[in-house]
Structure formats: structure tokens, C-alpha cells
Structure 1
Amino acid sequence: MHWRALSEEAPGPKWAGLFAEYWPDYKRWWLKEGDTARASYLESRRALKEHMPEIVPLYDELCDLAGGGDQAARFLSFYCPPPYLAGCSQAIWPGKEPVMVRNYDYNPNAFDSLILHTGWQGRRVLGTSDGLWGLVDGMNDAGLAISLTFGGRRVVGDGFGVPLILRYVLQTCATAEEAGAVLARVPTHMSYNVTVLDAKRHYLTAMMAPDRPAVITHAAVATNHQENVEWVSHARFTATVERERFLLQRLTLHRDPEEKFIGAFLKPPLYSTAFDAGFGTLYTAVYRPRLQQMEVRWPGTTWSFAMDDFNEGRRQVQIPGAA
């Protein structure tokens, strides 16, 4: 995998160049069910204005940089996108300096491979890109970290792709409590578990769904089911219950030290090589929100970032088990 780390204080030529590069592939994915299967521009912008009004000016700016086309604007709204599944495990290690750790299990051919550092709307945000302004995990300069896992349910409804919801949380929230309020009210198009950790060491996990109210919990661990396993075959294939149990044991029965706990994400049963089925582990992310530090790890390799001293760069990484 070829990874990049890019920083741009305000939306500009770097982001426009990324969009021009990625858009052909994203457009094929976005149109795979046909143009009429996706929400109209007016419907998409209206939904953004209703549920995430603070970032509408940023959205408009990005649409302009993307060329102002109808399909690009509808895609960038993340409203009612095509359904997609991921694996993933995430947990909070509650030490003196609490740490959020996550594995992202997904198809390497449908991934941005991009660490994005932005200062949009006066709020610095650092995280792993999805859709070029959405995030699958990230952290802001208020010391709030966030990460997602798929919730293990088939139902699809009217709502936003969750990576944009994560961006919205980091753009507008400073605490876990504020994030929980947002996650409880913004509609999602599929079921996801979103975990947040703030600088005061408060954390929560929101079990979001398109067909029922979000459940806000004090869970420190999230894998790929919610309160109960509903999609049995998916749960068996991804070993979601086994991964959850393993992490809970590491946090309670064994009380692993920080580095041992993080290292467990780079080994089975958390680390996956099921790339043929689209659920191999692409990376392990480590967030230390109080210290404003992030690491991306692979077996034998670590790439470190700091909010206040971010260095752009490129990495070529060999992922075990990936073609």
C-alpha cells in the first residue's frame, strides 16, 4: 500500500488535486446502483443544512474546488451513499495518558490510504481520510479522538455516511458529552459503533442505526455488533464476539500495560488477513488526544504524527496477506 500524509490549513490546491485524482474511482463506486439511486443535490444539501449546518460553508467550498459538478457535490454530501461494510476493532486503554487504539479492516483497493491534517474553519483535525473529507478515525486540537466500526446489521436507511459524521464531530465538538449529543441526533444510513475519548479522559460509545434511536453507552470496546448479534453469518465470519471478549479480557482480567495492549492489535485474533473477503487489517491507529499525538502502525513499522508538528510524507507498506 502506498500511503500519504498531507497537510493543508484551508481547502485549496492540495485538496483539489486529491479530488481530481480520486474522483474517477469514487464516481464509479457512487454510481454503481445508477444515478437515480442517489439523492439529488437539493435533497443532499437540505439534509446537511438541517443536521450539520455548521459545516455547510465548508461543504460549499469543497464543492467549488471539486469543479462544481452535480454528481461530485452529491457525493461530497455523503447523504444516502451506497452501502458498504467494514470489520474493525477499537478500544480505550485507560492509563494515566488514555489511548484510543483501533484496527481498520477493509478492502485495500477501496481506501484513501491518506492521513489528512487540516485547519478548516479554524479547527485543526488530524485523521485517516475516507471520501477525502470524511474520516474513519481522527482527533482534533481540543483533545477529542473518535473512531468507527461497522455495527453488524443489514438495514440501510436515509442518513449520512458515518465518515462525514466523524468529521462533523471533530469540527464542532470538544468533549465526549458534546460528541454523544451529535451522534444521538444526526441520522446515519447504516449501523455503526462510534467511540470517542476526550482530553478529560471521558469516553463513550454510540451505537448508531438508521431505523432506531442511537444507544449511548460507557463501553470502552467496540467490534462489529451492537447490543445483540443480529447478522449471524457476518458475526461468525468476522469473529466480532470473540474479538470483543478478547479486548475486554485485556482491559479487565489481564490489565495489560499500554504497549502490550497496543501490540495485541497487530496479532490474531484482532489482526486479520482476510483480504480475499475484503476484511483484512489495513492499519492500526493509536491516538493520544491529551498529548495531541497519533501513530499508524503495521507489523514492524510505525509512522508518527503530532498535531502541532505535522510532517507530510509518503510510505510504501507491505501488508501481510494482501495481494
Structure 2
Amino acid sequence: MPLWRAISEDEPGPKWAGLFHEYWPDYRRWWLREGDAARPSYLDSRRALATHMPEIVPIYDHLCELAGGGDQAARFLSFHIPPPYLSGCSQAIWPGREPVMVRNYDYAPNAFDSLILRTRWQGRTVMGVSDGLWGLVDGVNDAGLAVSLTFGGRRIVGEGFGVPIILRYVLQTCTTAEEAGAALARIPTHMSYNVTALDRKRRYLTAMLSPDRPAIVTHAAVATNHQENVEWVSHARFTATVERERFLLQRLTLHRDPEEKFIGAFLKPPLYSTAFAYGFGTLYTAVYRPRKGQMEVRWPGTTWTQSLSDFAEGVRHVEVPGVAV
């Protein structure tokens, strides 16, 4: 029965430091799985951050201090050219009068923070699902901007950042979908990802990011695990990325499901996956209402609701079908 936590800390401090020291042994093993020499140096990593995301360098420096000032921890926290990793995921914008962003996060349960983190770093309130303890796989900020990621279904690995730190940067510095799209197109990523953004004025976009070609910014309301064309055929077949995309497009166009029915579809096949043994099981469904500053994390039979203005710290033991207790 997976344990989830919700933690709030306005500025990086003892709560974050405690989380880091708890999670660091596992993250260190992952980060070093190709050897220390395979990862960039601290100077190269910090220089890359200062070049591409200078606004969050003060946060990074503070986190490095809280982590103990070690070389490997600082390099890991930069998210610069991390080891490659794959996920599943489906996400879509339900375009009602009060539009919502809905997503499934499909990944390995033993390589996941299981953490909802609310921060007020540099005066900007951000809330979302944590990855790497300050990166995010989805989230919303107090400007009414929500973002979410899916893996883009390409094998290419290049020189860039892990996408969770890019999402953190977007939510720290951007207020509209247009600003998010410009930042996403500018910052280099180490693998291919699709990032969807929705703002309080109902504008949305999906940016298809790749390490070896310019980003493609689209008005797509749906993203699964491929970009314009399927390139990694075996991955596409295993994850049913095309089938999931078609299913969501049908729900949005041919049937126009009401909001709750649309959200409920994420908790059932073909969107909901129990392929945990292969690292592609659905760990949670997230629902974001950026105009209200609200998020819901859903599992079959359970919902955890949070808001930027009324965030409740706590712990949840969640039954996830297919995950061993």
C-alpha cells in the first residue's frame, strides 16, 4: 500500500532538508548507475543552469547548502544530463467553461517521490507532484498556470536538462501558456517530452520537446507518448500510445463527455494501466483547475484534494491496483 505525503514549506528549510536526506541514498544509486564520470561536473552543471534558467539559480544554491554541500548531491540537483528514464502517461485538456487539465502518470512505483509539494520560493506559490525533490511532473502556480509532462517516445538522448526541473522553472517564472511555450522552446532537454500548459484565461498548448531538433509548439489538447509520428514502434505498441490518444480525442470531439465522466475515464482502461512490473503502471491521476488554484490526486475509490490557498499537509496510504502491499 503506497504511502503518499503532502508537505508545505514556504522557503527551503528543515522539511526539505529532511526529505533530501531520506531520499538521497536511492537517488544517488540511480544517478550513479552509469558511473560518476558519466555525469557532468558541478561547474558545468551550475553553468548550464545559469545560462538557461538563471532565475532559479539562487534556489538551487540554497538547496545545495541544505543537502550538505556535497559534490554529487549538487550535480544531481542541477538535473543537467541525468541518466535516461522512461515513463508512460496520458494528459488532456477538458475545454469546459472552467477548463481542467487531467493526466495519468505511468511509472515505476519504487522510483517515485509519492509527494505533493507546496512551496512559496521567491514569492511564487507552486503546488504539484514532486520528482527529484524540487522538480515536478505536473503542477500549478498562483498565476493560474498549470503544466504536465509525458514522455515523447523517442530513443535520442542529448545534452540538456531532465524535464522535471524545466517544469519547476516554468511554474516559478511564467504566468501564461504563451510564456510557458516560449520557455519550453528555449531550454534544452536531455530526452523527448510533451509538455502541456493551461492558463487561467483558458489558453493552452502542448510543446513537443526533443534534444536533437527544435521544439514544436502546438495547440493540441491531448498528449500521450509519441510526437508528430511514432518513431519507437515497440514502445508505442507496448504503451498503446496511439490507441490512448485516439480514445481521448474521441472523448473530446465525438462524444464530448461531461467533466466528471471525462475524468473518470482516466481511472479505467485503456488509459489506466496496471503494467507496474514493466515500469508503466498508473501511479495516480491528477486533475488541475488553474483558475481556482486547485488540484486533485485520484486513485480508484480515493481522491485527495489540495489548493494553493488551503493546502493541508498529511499522509495517505493508497491502494493502487497491481502494486504489491
Identity %: 83
* Corresponding residue for residue 221 of structure 2: 220
Distance in 2 separating the partners of 1:26 and 1:161: 14
Distance in 1 separating the partners of 2:247 and 2:173: 34
In the TM superposition, what is the alpha-carbon distance from 1:298 to its structure 2 partner?
A: 0.2
Residue 320 of structure 1 aligns to which amino acid in structure 2?
Answer: P
* Corresponding residue for residue 313 of structure 1: 314
Q: Report SS of the residue matched to 2:267.
A: coil
Q: Report SS of the residue matched to 1:36.
A: helix
* Corresponding residue for residue 22 of structure 1: 23
* Corresponding residue for residue 115 of structure 2: 114
Q: Report SS of the residue matched to 1:265.
A: helix
Unaligned runs of 5+ in 2: none
* Corresponding residue for residue 157 of structure 2: 156
Matches within 5 A, 1:145-294: 145-294=146-295
In the TM superposition, what is the alpha-carbon distance from 1:160 to its structure 2 partner?
A: 0.1
Scaled by the length of structure 2, the TM-score of the pair is 0.99
Distance in 2 separating the partners of 1:14 and 1:301: 26
Residue 81 of structure 1 aligns to which amino acid in structure 2?
Answer: P
Distance in 2 separating the partners of 1:95 and 1:142: 20
Distance in 1 separating the partners of 2:41 and 2:49: 12
Residue 159 of structure 1 aligns to which amino acid in structure 2?
Answer: G
Aligned length: 323
Distance in 1 separating the partners of 2:294 and 2:213: 35
* Corresponding residue for residue 144 of structure 1: 145
Residue 231 of structure 1 aligns to which amino acid in structure 2?
Answer: W
Deviations 1:179-217 (A, max 9, x none): 000000000000000000000000000000000000000
Deviations 1:93-149 (A, max 9, x none): 000110000000000000000000000010000000000000000000000000000
Residue 78 of structure 2 aligns to which amino acid in structure 1?
Answer: S
Residue 129 of structure 1 aligns to which amino acid in structure 2?
Answer: S
Residue 184 of structure 2 aligns to which amino acid in structure 1?
Answer: L
Deviations 1:223-254 (A, max 9, x none): 00000000000000000000000000000000
Distance in 1 separating the partners of 2:307 and 2:172: 18
In the TM superposition, what is the alpha-carbon distance from 1:322 to its structure 2 partner?
A: 1.3
Q: Report SS of the residue matched to 1:167.
A: helix
Residue 216 of structure 2 aligns to which amino acid in structure 1?
Answer: V
Deviations 1:227-285 (A, max 9, x none): 00000000000000000000000000000000000000000000000011110000000
* Corresponding residue for residue 104 of structure 1: 105
* Corresponding residue for residue 61 of structure 1: 62
Distance in 1 separating the partners of 2:120 and 2:292: 18
Distance in 2 separating the partners of 1:172 and 1:293: 19
Q: Which runs of 4+ in 1 moved over 6 A?
A: none
Distance in 1 separating the partners of 2:77 and 2:275: 30
Residue 106 of structure 2 aligns to which amino acid in structure 1?
Answer: D
Residue 154 of structure 2 aligns to which amino acid in structure 1?
Answer: R
Deviations 1:142-186 (A, max 9, x none): 000000000000000000000000000000000000000000000
In the TM superposition, what is the alpha-carbon distance from 1:80 to its structure 2 partner?
A: 0.2
Distance in 2 separating the partners of 1:139 and 1:276: 30
Distance in 1 separating the partners of 2:292 and 2:68: 38
* Corresponding residue for residue 89 of structure 2: 88
Q: Report SS of the residue matched to 1:75.
A: helix
Distance in 2 separating the partners of 1:103 and 1:8: 26
Residue 131 of structure 2 aligns to which amino acid in structure 1?
Answer: D
Q: Report SS of the residue matched to 1:135.
A: strand
Deviations 1:73-107 (A, max 9, x none): 00000000000000000000000110000000000
Deviations 1:42-63 (A, max 9, x none): 0000000000000000000000
Distance in 2 separating the partners of 1:303 and 1:105: 18
Q: Report SS of the residue matched to 1:194.
A: strand
In the TM superposition, what is the alpha-carbon distance from 1:318 to its structure 2 partner?
A: 1.0
Distance in 2 separating the partners of 1:97 and 1:211: 37
Distance in 2 separating the partners of 1:293 and 1:34: 41
Q: Report SS of the residue matched to 1:148.
A: strand
Deviations 1:19-62 (A, max 9, x none): 00000000000000000000000000000000000000000000
